[in-house]
Amino acid sequence: NKQVILKNYVSGFPKETDMYVTTSLIELKVPKGSNGVLLKNLYLSCDPYMRPRMTKDMEGSYIESFEPGLPISGNGVAKVLDSENPEFKKGDLVWGMTGWEEYSLITSPYLFKVPHADVPLSYYTGILGMPGMTAYAGFYEVCSPKQGECVFISAASGAVGQLVGQFAKLLGCYVVGSAGSKDKVDLLKNRLGFDEAFNYKEEPDLNAALIRCFPEGIDIYFENVGGKMLDAVLINMKVGGRIAVCGMISQYNLDEPEGVHNLTRLISKRVRMEGFLVSDYNHLYPKFLEMIIPYIKGGKIVYVEDTAEGLESAPAALVGLFSGRNLGKQVVAVASE
């Protein structure tokens, strides 16, 4: 059984060599009466929240750290090979928490049956999985969006951002995204239907870029990066605006968070800034599927994936999230059904 193991706890930017691939023996059978399931992993998801899990007992974290010497765990799509759990049977396709390995024996499953198998299965790591629900809950529940509003999204071409932008367009908003390369800006404007987009790495003056794109100000900011971008956005919010704090990826590898200086603008502009966790909205998943499946099948929403082939490529794919190497949702294809 090939596995990706965390070598040691990480400080600063994660490196490919913080993980290694090894092979161990596994009995392809679930112990009788154990409640476990044996999975053949098909797709694994690379997600930014996995970086804090590489730090020992991260202060204020909402999720447990990984253990050095053990396989990394994360979201994935898998096929059930054997089961002692009444909820799953051999042959089921499932998505949820699994290991970064070819086969996983899961003793307390946090897994869901794949509800629609007539769409790409990898979508359950992205649009139909945790990032999709994050975009849905964050935009519709936290941002209180209205037609015609001006919406700004950072890390806009990523797993979450590309969907928030498309949801906002479907609602009739004016939508602008920031991203870290020319290819990503082209993707936003030409394929994902954003009204405007800019490359924040080539705009030393973020405030000027925002004034250019939003001469009248921003109603909604979907925050994925934090730091300097948040500071510039705070200056450009409209009265009564909302900021949904989804993530702050620019801060995850820093020992000391970068100072944000313009928070008093929240008062003068009466802006609501709200952090949220997708896990608080799990109950909305059926409602989300009802909306999103017809959009996918009707081609009203597109989903861009960046697929790394093979378990060996997983460490580089995960690390690539923090330099922006991924164009769209970063998936690792491990095996076919």
Nearest-angstrom CA–CA distance, 66 and 81: 25
Site for ligand NDP in 183-202 (CB under 6 A): 184
Q: Which is nearer to ligand NDP, 82 or 223 (CB)?
A: 223
Task: Pick from 250, 271, 301, 303 the residue near ligand NDP by CB under 6 A.
Answer: 250
Q: Which is nearer to ligand NDP, 102 or 112 (CB)?
A: 112
Q: Is 285 near ligand NDP (CB under 6 A)?
A: no
Residue 128 or 225 having the CB closest to ligand NDP: 225
Which member of 94, 173, 188, 278 binds ligand NDP (CB under 6 A)?
Answer: 278
Q: Binding to ligand NDP by residue 231, rule CB under 6 A? A: no
- Options 73, 75, 134, 236; binder of ligand NDP; rule CB under 6 A: 134
Residue position matching structure tokens 């008093």: 264
Residue whose pair of structure tokens reads 């990032």 in the numeric block: 131
* Among 79, 139, 118, 91, CA closest to 334: 79
Cα–Cα distance measured from residue 60 to residue 79, given in angstroms and rounded to the nearest whole number = 35
DSSP label at residue 10: -
Percentages helix, strand, coil for the chain (3-state, rounded to 5) are 30, 25, 45
* Nearest 10 degrees: Cα torsion 134, 139, 143, 145: -170
Contact 233, 200 (CB under 8 A): no
- Can residue 158 be called a binding residue for ligand NDP (CB under 6 A)? yes
Binds ligand NDP (CB under 6 A): choice among 246, 314, 318, 333: 246
- Where along the sequence are the contacts to ligand NDP (CB under 6 A)? 47-49, 130-131, 134, 155, 157-161, 179-181, 184, 224-225, 246-250, 276-278, 321-322, 324, 326, 329-330
